């Protein structure tokens, strides 16, 4: 087994180390969500923590790690009698992004359950993680139903598996740690709220600290055992401190003054629900125990707020995370109490003394997301016409307020990644039929299984009641749910769209569609065209907030190379199909339909549009044409794309125009 990097040898990352240690002291805090760029020691710190946790006593032979002092009465391997057990190291269990539901919660042997009536249960990762750490790398890429399952287990301290009338329950109490790169997409606010604490990590910009990171990492890679041995004393000291803090925790007093500060802080920052108050109270108590105190101080409340509130203030993916520390200090000062606390800053709220160098980080050679690049600004020609080399450019305008949009979907039934936009064959959803299982049986179709087995009962020696079921009789339920699509926005940023008020409405519409894509778990991409060319402003990604940033800084002006924009989008889709063949695309073209860039612009635009129609790509044209005289060019473009056209006004879910159009369409179909 490989030797983990010592926790006390991690350089920097004070907030990350503190949050992990607080959860080690008090698992009731609710886990940690670690957000940050790649190469910033997220995984290294979590793996290092597992080596610091004290050993646990378990019932010998129990697959569910029951505590011999208080065995779980519902343990599937039980009942156990209280008594001496066997000590083993605390586990760190990793949940891979591609894990199935059965791998997470465990699986029943359905064939034995039907044929023999026994509960043959194979434990999953939740059982393995009981009384240890469950680590989910890239938790934002995990399917939503799996995130729901593990967060429910973390909240209840137990996992429930029910399948075809057979039910199993076992204890599942663990320290939950999730890591994510925000560039790859955000978690839903409801799921963010379920993590107790959150920390933002980034690679240090201090040369000396980066040098120390590299020096320690190279020393560890050259001789892991020797490097770890040099930090043994520091590791032992932190391990002993965790044990002492756990023992002190029940004696820590959380006074009414601290509780008032916690409640006032959550109210001041308009945090929804009461979970934040509870998490802050538990975190402040753990901070006091970690510092060796039996009273919670104002500084504990302040540090708890910085760890527990930032992710709970995000109402949508476009909100910036973080907390206004001046406002926090004002709130704490206003509601400061006199029941044993003081307003002094505690000299030791965190793990800064846990080892030389103060802590952690791995080298980050590829750290740092790139900002939006709007490119150079070409000069305009006479009379406002663009020069041949570029386009006259107006400064970027702000987007109008987003709104709830009509549902746009891809026709037919797909098999792509789970989401909420279009119909698809999925593991979850309503049952639509049955088939023979391909590999492991996961969802039994009971009626189809009985029908398959019934004709052979006499041949199998069954003459009385009951049913003999064999493996060949088992049928897998086929289900229909929803999938997430690749929504590729192709946005006209030319002079014909450049009236500032109009472009503000256009950006607001695209922002609304981006918000809808976030809620439906889509990937998004952004292609813009203006002047003489088209650009991929954002390659397909799960980070819709990155698309919003690019959109906000989008300049306008110049001619309208519609054909170039469509061809660029076609090329993006071609590459994306190679990467993810199962994910279907929805192309949303935002334009007034004019084409003025290059030779024969209208003819070339028509040819480019027909490429999409020939390949059956679902498309929608958002018609941005305005003014008393309208040419209907966007509608013509939609016809050549083989898609539909919708006006900006009709894009709203509550639009009267959209409702009238739907009613008229229904009337024509009825006729």
Report phi then psi at 639, rounded to 5.
Answer: -65, -40
| Block residue for tokens 């029940």 | 250
Please name the residues in contact with 184: beta carbons below 8 A apart, sequence gap of 6 or more.
Answer: 138, 140, 141, 541, 542, 543
> Rounded distance, CA 552 to CA 503, Å?
11
Give the 3-state secondary structure of residue 119: coil
- List C-alpha distances in Å: 572 to 478, 544, 575, 594, 638: 32, 17, 5, 22, 19
Element (H, E) at 261: helix 256-268
What is the DSSP secondary structure assignment for residue 404, as one 8-state letter?
Answer: P
Spot the catalytic one: 275, 387, 423, 630: 275
Distance (Å, whole) CA 408 – CA 403: 14
- Which DSSP letter does residue 618 get? E
* Catalytic residue status for 275: yes
Is 50:90 a contact under the CB 8 Å cutoff?
yes
3-state helix, strand, coil in the chain (%, to 5): 40, 20, 40
The backbone region for 345, taken as left when phi is positive above 0, alpha when psi lies in -120 to 50, beta otherwise, is: beta
**How many Å apart are CA 170 and CA 157, to the nearest integer?**
9
DSSP 8-class letter at 116: H
Strand 86-88 to strand 56-58: parallel, antiparallel, or no bridges (unpaired)?
Answer: antiparallel
Structure tokens at 121: 């249960």
The answer to whether the beta carbons of residues 294 and 254 sit under 8 Å apart is no
Is the separation of the CB atoms in 530 and 494 below 8 Å? Answer: yes
Active site positions, annotated: 275
């Amino acid at each position: 087994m490989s030797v983990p990097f010592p926790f006390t040898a991690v350089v920097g990352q004070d907030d990350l180390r503190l949050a992990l240690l607080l959860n080690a002291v008090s698992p009731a805090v609710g886990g940690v969500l670690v957000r940050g760029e790649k190469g910033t020691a997220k995984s290294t710190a979590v793996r290092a923590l597992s080596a610091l946790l004290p050993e646990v006593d378990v019932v010998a032979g129990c697959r569910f790690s029951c505590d011999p002092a208080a065995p779980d009465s519902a343990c599937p391997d039980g009942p156990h009698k209280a008594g001496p057990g066997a000590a083993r190291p605390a586990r760190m269990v990793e949940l891979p992004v591609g894990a199935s539901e059965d791998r997470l919660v465990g699986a029943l042997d359905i064939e034995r359950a039907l044929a023999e009536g026994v509960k043959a249960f194979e434990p999953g990762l939740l059982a393995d993680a009981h009384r240890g750490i469950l680590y989910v790398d890239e938790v934002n890429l995990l399917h939503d139903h799996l995130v729901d399952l593990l967060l429910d287990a973390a909240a209840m301290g137990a996992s429930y598996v029910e399948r075809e009338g057979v039910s199993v329950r076992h204890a599942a109490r663990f320290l939950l740690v999730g890591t994510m790169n925000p560039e790859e997409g955000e978690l839903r606010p409801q799921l963010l709220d379920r993590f107790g604490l959150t920390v933002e990590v980034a690679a240090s910009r201090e040369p000396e600290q980066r040098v120390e990171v590299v020096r320690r990492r190279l020393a560890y890679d050259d001789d892991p055992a020797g490097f770890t041995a040099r930090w043994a004393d520091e590791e032992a000291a932190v391990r002993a401190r965790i044990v002492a803090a756990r023992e002190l925790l029940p004696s820590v007093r959380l006074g009414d003054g601290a509780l008032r500060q916690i409640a006032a802080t959550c109210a001041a920052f308009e945090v929804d629900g009461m979970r934040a108050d509870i998490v802050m109270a538990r975190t402040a108590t753990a901070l006091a125990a970690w510092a060796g105190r039996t009273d919670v101080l104002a500084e504990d409340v302040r540090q708890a707020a910085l760890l527990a509130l930032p992710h709970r203030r995000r109402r949508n993916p476009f909100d910036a995370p973080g907390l206004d520390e001046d406002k926090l200090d004002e709130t704490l000062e206003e509601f400061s109490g006199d029941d044993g606390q003081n307003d002094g800053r505690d000299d030791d709220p965190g793990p800064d003394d846990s080892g030389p160098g103060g802590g952690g980080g791995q080298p980050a050679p590829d750290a740092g997301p790139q900002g939006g690049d709007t490119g150079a600004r070409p000069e305009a020609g006479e009379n406002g016409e663009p020069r041949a080399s570029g386009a006259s450019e107006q400064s970027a305008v702000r987007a109008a307020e987003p709104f709830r949009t009509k549902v746009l979907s891809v026709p037919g039934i797909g098999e792509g990644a789970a989401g909420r936009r279009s119909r698809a064959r999925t593991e979850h959803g309503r049952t639509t039929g049955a088939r023979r299982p391909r590999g492991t049986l996961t969802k039994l179709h009971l009626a189809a299984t009985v029908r398959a087995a019934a004709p052979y009962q006499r041949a199998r020696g069954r003459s009385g009641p009951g049913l003999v079921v064999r493996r060949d009789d088992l049928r897998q339920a086929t289900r229909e749910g929803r999938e997430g699509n690749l929504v590729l926005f192709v946005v006209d940023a030319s002079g014909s769209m450049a009236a500032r008020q109009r472009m503000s409405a256009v950006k607001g519409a695209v922002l609304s569609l981006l918000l809808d894509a976030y809620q439906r778990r889509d990937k998004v991409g952004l292609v813009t065209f203006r002047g003489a060319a088209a650009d991929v402003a954002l390659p397909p990604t799960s980070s819709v907030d990155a698309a919003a940033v690019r959109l906000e800084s989008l300049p306008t002006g110049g001619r309208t190379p519609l054909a170039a924009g469509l061809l660029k989008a076609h090329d993006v889709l071609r590459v994306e199909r190679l990467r993810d063949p199962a994910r279907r695309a929805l192309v949303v073209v935002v334009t007034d339909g004019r084409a003025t860039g290059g030779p024969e612009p209208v003819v070339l635009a028509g040819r480019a549009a027909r490429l999409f129609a020939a390949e059956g790509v679902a498309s929608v044209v958002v018609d941005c044409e305005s003014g008393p005289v309208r040419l209907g060019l966007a509608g013509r473009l939609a016809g050549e794309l083989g898609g539909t056209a919708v006006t900006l006004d009709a894009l709203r879910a509550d639009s009267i125009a959209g409702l009238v159009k739907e009613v008229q369409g229904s009337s024509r179909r009825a006729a």
